[in-house]
Amino acid sequence: MIHVENLTKHYKDICAVDQINFDIHKGEILGLLGPNGAGKTTTLRMLTGFLRPTAGNIRVKDFTIEENPLEIKKLLGYLPESAPLYHDMIVYDYLDFVANIREIDRNEKLKRIKYLADLCGLNDVMHQPIGELSKGFKQRVGLAHAMMSDPEILVLDEPTSGLDPNQIIEIREIIKRIGKEKTVILSTHILSEVEAACDRVVIIKQGKIIADGSMETLKQSVNRKNRINILLLNSDYESVKKELGSIAGVEEVQMETNNEGVLQASVICRSSADLRGDIYRKIKETEWILIELYQETQTLENIFRELTTEN
């Protein structure tokens, strides 16, 4: 659907995006992640034809951004970062303007605007100037703007910023619903959002792609040893270390804290094998009282931190 090849953008002497390559397939929800200033917004701006790449190619379906920018713009719906809309315009007038520019049929137009107003919860603010709306409502107007022409590809730059938790869930639901038939690219720095909504994650750092894949592959790619935390009563560190250290596959037993008879220890496994059962069985043989046992899960947060902070 979208093919990006060696995409590069220089701002004067700063290199914002450095030769990135990726493909996006139809019906995929792609999350673009990265620290501030990584080049997420620049990438999306080039994709939507707002900025011209310094080098490289973007192809959407059979169109290239160099030769058919207008055709690509017709296929795309774009919500820029923080939804910069016309402040003097009334919401309805604005949506009407977008519908006109998008060449929506006169008879369809009102229906479409109504549908989007329902979808994005705009019915109460249709006759207010956009400048007077709260940030969350502006964001919703921006979303309605992006979906006006029922585009095949939806590009959303931080779609949920400034929204309250209920709205975030609503917008996520909308994105998921749209993502069943359409291609969605969203950039965000909220990791849980990516986990909740995206099929695939691309992590960018300093203009380069440092990870690209589904959540599962990303979790596997980061070679982290499993860590099992336990809380024990009626035990002492020395014997815990000796007993648990004898289990096959355990690399190390670390003691975290030991107060009021509660011993907190973590067992670090040599591989990513699950040793929880073995540890439980071992503890059962002793007099120790087990009050907690859990394996640290590989969250996207961990992966993100690991990938973006290492040199």
The single-letter DSSP state of residue 272 is S
Task: Kindly provide the residue ranges of all beta strands, DSSP E only, lying in 72-118, ordered along the sequence.
Answer: 76-79
Cβ contact 33:203 at 8 Å: yes
**150, two tokens:** 């029922």
What residue has token string 């107060």?
259
Residue 78 C-beta: closest distance to other proteins, Å: 5
Among residues 25, 26, 52, 281, which is the contact residue for other proteins, using CB under 8 A? 52
In 3D space, the residue among 240, 242, 215 whose CA is nearest the CA of residue 230 turns out to be: 240
Residue 91 C-beta: closest distance to other proteins, Å: 13
Which span sits near other proteins by CB under 8 A: 17-25, 72-80, 280-288, 293-301? 72-80
CB atoms within 10 A of CB 146: 24
Residue 157 C-beta: closest distance to other proteins, Å: 10
**What's the angle, vertex CA 309, arms to CA 303 and CA 311, rounded to 5?**
120
**99, two tokens:** 């519908």
Q: Considering beta carbons, is residue 145 or 172 the nearer one to other proteins?
A: 145
Interface of this chain with other proteins, residues 134 to 163, rule: CB under 8 A: 145
Note whether 102 binds other proteins by CB under 8 A.
Answer: yes
Strand (E) or helix (H) holding 268: strand 262-269
Size of the residue set binding other proteins (CB under 8 A): 28
Which span sits near other proteins by CB under 8 A: 21-29, 83-91, 159-167, 223-231? 83-91
Among residues 88, 108, 181, 256, which is the contact residue for other proteins, using CB under 8 A? 88
Instruction: List contacts with other proteins (CB under 8 A).
Output: 45, 48-52, 70, 73-74, 76, 78, 80, 82, 84-90, 93, 97-98, 100-103, 145
